[in-house]
Amino acid sequence: MNAPLIWIFFPFLVGAFSLLFISQERWAAIVSSVTALILTLAALVVPIDQALGFGSFSLKISSSFQILGRNLTLDSSHAPLLTILYGVAALWFIGAESVGVARRLSSMGLIMLSLLVASIAVQPFLFAALLIEISVLVAVPLLSPPDQTPSRGVLHFLIYQTLGMPFILIAGWLSAGVEASPGDLTLTIQSTLMLGLGFAFLLAVFPLYNWMPLLIEEGSPYIVGFLFWILPTVASIFGLSFLDRYGWLRGSPQVMAALRVAGLLMVVTGGLWSAFQRHIGRMLAFMSVAETGFILLALSLNPATGVPIVFLMLIPRGLGLAICALSLSVLNSHTGSLRFSSVQGLARAYPFVTAGLILSALSTAGFPLLAGFPPRLALWNSLGGGSLTDSFWFMVGILGLATGAIRALAVMVMAGENTSWVSQESWSQRAMLGGGILALFILGLFPQALSPILDKLPLMFQHLGH
């Protein structure tokens, strides 16, 4: 028995089985969510590369597995990340049944997640780019069923994500040359440019995120929200592995400055576009843009400060996007449109949905007492210690996100005086939204509860974790 078989091949097979043989929404959600929860619990309690004794019987889970001449390695340092990925994915799979997308999301989501975990585990690590691309290809039928013609948003998503792969592979090839000849300035510049272009496409860095609002207007908000969570999260971990492996990247002031500028552009534009939207679905897209900007800003800091902040963002990001996507999906199923004109005054009919939507948006903006507040405060403090100008633009983006949330709230409570408060959400939707809102407050009030997991995450990296 070895770790890659448990956390990569097992969920892949379960996802494939669910896709082929389970047609009922509820059973698809149960199978996928239970699988994800089991893998989360296993990552928490099962030691890797240590013998487990059961009387006269012992079992050891090895960390490596070889396939097609390549090694997949998941050791004890990966356990906290596996806990977060499969734990947050379980929340998405549980909520999928209540909005009618469980059969598509649960099965193909498990397949995507297993491929993305494989991208973290594969050695040599450049093969991660190919596995991420395969997961993007899996996402296409998830977004566009076989009986439908792919929309413009799906095509733009596929094109932009695919364009990033060649640049990253070329950058990896050039980086090996930089390691051999660190004084070759031309080779270093070429490698840095290729790497920057690759991750600009992969992370949808400004101005390459025009497909995101387009995609959410045309597809299921819940499925699109899942992609907004999982792909940038794993791509960010992949980016950290580049910084950890190549010392010339970590020590380059130009690279750090580029990360800072890109992060600020995404935070500011994401916040401002969110503030002026008249479509609440597009607000989710720009919230995700700003979240990625926060990660880039954290990466531009000193590794000892920035890397823990990156990991502090992972759980609030997944939770906030899940609550927002679930709220939007419930509204979309009722109105058929997420424009302000269609959702005006619906707060009295959908109070849980309204609360989930607004509080998740405020959490992204770093509103006090919510889950997004501790990482935003830590990031703002770190930026303020270096540049007041950066702190000012960071605050502009934060205010834009908060303004978008307040505008959405104003529109949704704009109902007639005689409109009664009658909740039209199903009991499962109320339970999941209520539980998610409670979790936002718990993580905001007690962020130290995550310390046992988050403190160990930087140990995945040889240099950044020390």
Q: Are 31 and 106 in contact (CB under 8 A)?
A: yes
Residue 137 has a pLDDT of 92
Measured distance CA(77)–CA(55) in Å, rounded = 27
Q: Are 266 and 286 in contact (CB under 8 A)?
A: no
Q: Which of 123, 152, 178 is the C-terminal boundary of a domain? A: 123
Measured distance CA(458)–CA(240) in Å, rounded = 10
Residue 398 has a pLDDT of 94
37 and 173 inside one domain: no
pLDDT tens digits along 174-203 = 776 666 666 667 777 788 888 888 888 988
Q: How many domains does the chain have?
A: 2
Confidence at 395, pLDDT banded by 50, 70, 90 = very high
Other Cβ atoms less than 10 A from the Cβ of 424: the count is 14
pLDDT surpassing 70 at residue 56? no
Measured distance CA(118)–CA(196) in Å, rounded = 23
pLDDT surpassing 70 at residue 55? no
Residue 425 has a pLDDT of 86
Average pLDDT across the chain, whole number: 87
84 and 186 inside one domain: no
* Closest to 172 (Cα-Cα) out of 246, 251, 252, 118: 246
pLDDT surpassing 80 at residue 222? yes
Q: What percent of the chain has pLDDT over 90?
A: 41
pLDDT tens digits along 426-465 = 888 899 999 999 999 999 999 888 888 888 888 888 777 5
Q: Are 234 and 307 in contact (CB under 8 A)?
A: no
Asked whether residue 388 is domain-assigned, the answer is yes
230 and 331 inside one domain: yes
235 and 146 inside one domain: yes
Residue 377 has a pLDDT of 92
Give the range among 9-23, 43-57, 369-383, 447-461 with minimum mean pLDDT. Answer: 43-57
pLDDT surpassing 60 at residue 466? no
Q: Are 279 and 339 in contact (CB under 8 A)?
A: yes
Give the range among 104-108, 352-356, 370-374 with minimum mean pLDDT. Answer: 104-108
222 and 92 inside one domain: no
Asked whether residue 465 is domain-assigned, the answer is no
101 and 81 inside one domain: yes
83 and 135 inside one domain: no
Residue 290 has a pLDDT of 93
Asked whether residue 45 is domain-assigned, the answer is yes
pLDDT surpassing 70 at residue 65? yes
Asked whether residue 420 is domain-assigned, the answer is yes
Give the range among 134-138, 150-154, 172-176 with minimum mean pLDDT. Answer: 172-176
447 and 324 inside one domain: yes
Confidence at 170, pLDDT banded by 50, 70, 90 = confident
Q: Half-sphere exposure of 346 toward its Cβ, with a 13 Å CA cutoff?
A: 25
Q: What percent of the chain has pLDDT over 70?
A: 96
The model's pTM? 0.93
Sheet with 64-67, side-by-side order of all strands: 64-67, 70-73, 122-123
Q: Which domain covers residue 380, as residue numbers?
A: 124-460
Residue 13 has a pLDDT of 93
34 and 57 inside one domain: yes
Residue 49 has a pLDDT of 73
pLDDT tens digits along 301-351 = 888 888 889 999 999 999 999 999 999 999 988 888 888 888 888 888 899
- Over residues 216-228, mean pLDDT: 90
Residue 421 vs residues 152, 330, 345: alpha-carbon distances, Å: 39, 17, 11
Residue 448 has a pLDDT of 87
Q: Which of 123, 155, 181 is the C-terminal boundary of a domain? A: 123
Q: Are 48 and 79 in contact (CB under 8 A)?
A: yes
Other Cβ atoms less than 10 A from the Cβ of 148: the count is 10
> Could you tell me which residues are beta bridge partners of residue 339?
279
Residue 70 has a pLDDT of 80
Residue 128 has a pLDDT of 84
Residue 454 has a pLDDT of 86
322 and 200 inside one domain: yes
Residue 88 has a pLDDT of 93
156 and 224 inside one domain: yes
98 and 142 inside one domain: no
pLDDT tens digits along 399-430 = 999 999 999 999 998 877 777 778 888 888 89
pLDDT tens digits along 234-279 = 999 988 888 888 777 777 888 888 899 999 999 999 999 999 888 8
Amino acid at 17: F
